[in-house]
Amino acid sequence: MRALLTKVEQDSRLDRAGDRLQKVVLGTLRPRRLRDLLHGVTLGHPLHPAMVQVPVGAWISAAVLDLMPGQRRPATVLVGLGTASALPAAIAGLNDWAALARDQRRVGLVHAAANTVGMTLYAGSLAARLSGRHGMGRALGFLGLSTVSLGAYIGGHLAYKQGAQVNQSISELHRMTDGWHSLADMATLPQRTLITREVDDDISVILYRHGDEVTVMLERCPHQSGPLGEGEVQEIDGHACVVCPWHGSAFRLNGGEVVQGPSGNDQQILPTRIQNGVLQTRLP
């Protein structure tokens, strides 16, 4: 299975269908606020993995009830709940998928295809149960559960092996040594300008001074590792934010909260102090 998914990552034949679907998703989910909501910007965490708990929980519970006598009605209700809640979860997933790298989109396409087949089987299961064909409904339900389980496995590969929608920058903290690190002389630090500095020689951070306050933030974008130091500072909802040059995620400079996707994760701010006129930072 691992070897097969590695082949899928590299299979450019999937790109034609993927590129078409990406255009449809981007053309359909146009309002930025809707896209941000689906990315999980308001939560500070990706929304799709949280949303899939509802259909998966309902479908697994229905499968357990299907194995018990006299539970047709609650099993039918749970299959209906799972099928209805799968659609918004799928839309959130497609929204995340459209902003992934190409190799991730290939695997994401197969993940989406498996789950679409699973959802179709569950829709058939629901229709069969509602028309009194409970044996057929159960059979389609078990087939659906097998298919969405395969989809979940592929989704696990996408998230944990390929790093889709996980925080790409936080591992920088694990490489940073303890103690305070000097970054810049306050006397020479310009106002309202993004400056890039390195900690421990290879961990990039950005500095942004506003009056006597200085923000120090990891430079690597949590979405796909874009260079925030090459981004722009924009005022969004009354707050100065750094906007990633790659896909437009924006993070508040006075707290690191994500205010604009596709990142669903906040950015890490580092503590600061001034020692003898020198700005220093350390691990949080």
**Footprint of ligand FES (CB under 6 A):** 221, 223-224, 226, 244, 246-249, 262-263
Cβ 171 to ligand FES, closest distance in Å? 15
Cβ 262 to ligand FES, closest distance in Å? 6
Q: Which is nearer to ligand FES, 7 or 33 (CB)?
A: 33
Q: Which is nearer to ligand FES, 39 or 138 (CB)?
A: 39
Q: Which is nearer to ligand FES, 57 or 245 (CB)?
A: 245
Cβ 249 to ligand FES, closest distance in Å? 3
Q: Which residues are CB-contacts of 60 (< 8 A; sequence separation ≥ 6)?
A: 145
Q: Which is nearer to ligand FES, 83 or 224 (CB)?
A: 224
Cβ 101 to ligand FES, closest distance in Å? 9
Cβ 23 to ligand FES, closest distance in Å? 18
Tokens representing 78?
């749970």
Q: Which is nearer to ligand FES, 118 or 262 (CB)?
A: 262
